[in-house]
Amino acid sequence: MADTASQSPGRLPSGPPRAPFLTRGRIRSLAVQILFIAALVWVVHFLFSNTMSNLSRQGIASGFGFLGNRAGFDVSLHYIPFSSSSTYLQGFWVAVINTLVLSALGIVLATFLGFGLGLARVSRNWLIARLATVYIEIFRNIPLLLQLFFWYFAILRPLPNPRDSVDFGGIAFLNNRGLVVPEPILGASGNAVLMALVIGVMLGIVQTRRMRKLRDATGDAGPVWPWWLGGLIALPLLAWAVSGARFELIIPELRGFNFQGGMVILPEMLAALLGLSFYISAAVGEIVRAGIQGVPKGQYEAAVAMGHSRWEMMRLIVLPQAMRIIIPPLATQYLSLAKNTSLAAAIAFPEIISIVAGTTLTQTGQAVETILLAMGFYITVSLFIAAVMNFFNYRVLRNDR
């Protein structure tokens, strides 16, 4: 791999000798930058004070005090306690969590789908490659909003009402209110299991790193899977047994209009997830294809010469190198998915736009503050995703020796 590494985009050229610290060009550019920042501060200050005086002239409430007021509305999906007597602030956190959950699930699904599509696109099987192309062309070119509506009504229309639910063995039910599944109740064991799981995962990670180092150093190391098995299964099981071994399943039961008990996956969640991840996976598929095709031919030939199977060649040689090309545009797609969750408001998914820039804005009339909150949220999420992807990019480039 040594000779491809020198072409790697991550390699910095050694560059010309550094110029002396203070040169005229530097001073000039410093002055321009200071002026620019001063102008920016002035503009922001002007807009801010202008806005504030306008708001007060029209007698419109301002400030963030409203966040402590009673919200007065209900939300169908909340992972933290929320009711109409909660505050707008609590509503904001509900929206934040809902949006993050949707984004995270969407990113995971889009990644799996996208990598599958990318591999299918370069497949030597004509049919598979064609099908992948058709999928990508369809989902990439139809506006996301339309796709969301499509999924939402494609889910709602054919599904029966709760009384005629599709019955999965009497424990899970599918109807146009969603998919209801049994809810496991671990009682006091729940926390113990969770803690054991966290410890188990850490154990697995530490051990994986140790073994890798060992292999790098000695060329030989023990397997890591027993550690993962122990960390993910044995340890939590042990914790559960020791802490009282309580386990109950709450089976959903049809009462009145709908099923009571159990956990439900709402049609809004399902449609938003499918819409977002199918849309983004099409773009990811193209990125993965480009990445794979960007790996020099010589690498393939070498892999074949070494007697690797096609799958091994992809997994061990081509994909690791393709990641260098894939990660930067992949980050862009993740950002886009996170921001596109806002469109899910149209199909009643209670995310940031729906709760904060929709209902909270209208009920309090505080457009400036609620929009700032929503913008702050999206900026934070974007910066976070960018940082994580930069980290991965750095790792991939660094490992590329």
Partner 1 sequence: MTKSFFLATTAMVLGAGLAHASTLEDVRERGAVVCGVTQGVPGFSNPDDAGNWTGFDVDICRAVAAAVLDDADAVRFVPLSNTERFTALQSGEVDILSRTTTRTLNRDTALGLNFAPVVFYDGQGFMVRESLGVASALDLDGASVCVSAGSTTELNLADYFSANGMSYSPVRFDRADEVLAAYDAGRCDVYTSDLSGLAARRLVMENPAEHVMLPETISKEPLAPVVRHGDDQWFDIVTWTVYALIGAEEMGVTSENMQEMAEGGSPDIRRLLGAGDDNMGAWMDLENDWSAKAIAAVGNYGELWERHLGMNTPLELERGLNELYTNGGIQYAMPIK
Closer residue to partner 1 (CB): 64 or 257: 257
Q: Look at residue 12 and give its three-state secondary structure.
A: coil
Q: 167 vs 253, which CB is nearer to partner 1? A: 253
Looking at 122-188, list the stretches that DSSP marks H as alpha helix, in order from N- to C-terminal side.
Answer: 126-141, 144-156
Beta bridge partners of 254: 259
Residue 367 CA to residue 61 CA, distance in Å, equals 10
Stretch that binds partner 1, among 126-134, 224-232, 316-324, 341-349 (CB under 8 A): 341-349
Spell out, one character per residue from 40 to 69, where the chain touches partner 1: x when CB under 8 A holds, - when not.
-------x--xx--xx-xxxxx--------
CA distance 354 to 369: 15
255 binds partner 1 (CB under 8 A): yes
- Kindly state the tokens that stand for 279: 């849309």
Segment lying near partner 1 (by CB under 8 A), choices 104-112, 217-225, 232-240, 353-361: 353-361
Binding residues for partner 1, how many (CB under 8 A)?
Answer: 55
Among 263, 348, 386, 397, interactor with partner 1 by CB under 8 A: 348
Using CB under 8 A as the binding rule, whether residue 358 contacts partner 1 is answered as yes
Q: Does 371 bind partner 1 (CB under 8 A)?
A: yes
Stretch of 199-207, 296-304, 364-372, 381-389 contacting partner 1, by CB under 8 A? 364-372
Distances (CA, A) of 390 to 190, 383, 384: 35, 10, 10
Q: Hey, how many other C-beta atoms are within 10 angstroms of the C-beta on 69?
A: 13
Which of 55/290 has CB closer to partner 1? 55
Q: How many helices (H) and strands (E) does the chain have?
A: 15, 8
Cα(388)–Cα(102) distance, rounded to whole angstroms?
18
Could you say whether residue 263 binds partner 1 (CB under 8 A)? no
Rounded distance between C-alpha atoms, residue 266 and residue 349, angstroms? 9
Which span sits near partner 1 by CB under 8 A: 90-98, 148-156, 205-213, 281-289?
A: 148-156
**Which of 89, 211 has the CB closer to partner 1?**
89
Decide: 319 and 292 in contact? Cβ < 8 Å: yes
DSSP assignments along 325-363, one per residue:
HHHHHHHHHHHHHHHHGGGGGGGT--SHHHIIIIIIHHH
Contacts (CB under 8 A) with partner 1, residues 80-99: 83-85
Nearer to partner 1, 276 or 325 (CB): 276
Contact flag: residue 363 with partner 1 (CB under 8 A): yes
Which letter does DSSP use for residue 64 in this model?
S
192, 242 Cβ separation under 8 angstroms: yes
In degrees and rounded to multiples of 5, residue 376 shows phi and psi of -55, -40
DSSP string, 12-40: PP--SPPPPSS-HHHHHHHHHHHHHHHHH
User: DSSP secondary-structure letter at 230?
Assistant: I
Which residue, 93 or 149, has its beta carbon nearer to partner 1? 149
Shortest Å, Cβ 187 to partner 1: 24
Tally of residues, the chain:
401
Binding segment for partner 1 (CB under 8 A), chosen from 71-79, 96-104, 240-248, 393-401, is 71-79
CB 337 within 8 A of CB 280: yes
Of 378 and 392, nearer to partner 1 (C-beta) is: 378
Nearer to partner 1, 260 or 309 (CB): 260
| CB of residue 359 to partner 1, shortest distance in Å | 5
Cβ proximity to partner 1: between 63 and 296 the closer is 63
The residue (of 160 and 296) whose beta carbon lies closer to partner 1 is 160
State the minimum distance, in angstroms, from the CB of residue 281 to partner 1.
23
Q: Dihedral of CA 238/241/246/249: which sign?
A: positive
Report the sign of the C-alpha dihedral through residues 210, 323, 332, 155, in that order.
Answer: negative
Q: Is 342 in the site for partner 1 (CB under 8 A)?
A: yes
73 binds partner 1 (CB under 8 A): yes
* 85/191 with CB nearer partner 1: 85
Rg (alpha carbons) of the chain, rounded to whole number = 27
**Applying CB under 8 A, does 268 fall inside the site for partner 1?**
yes
Binding site for partner 1 (CB under 8 A): 47, 50-51, 54-55, 57-61, 72-76, 83-85, 152-153, 156-157, 159, 161, 176-177, 255-258, 260, 267-268, 342-343, 345-348, 350, 353-354, 357-359, 361-365, 367-368, 370-371, 374
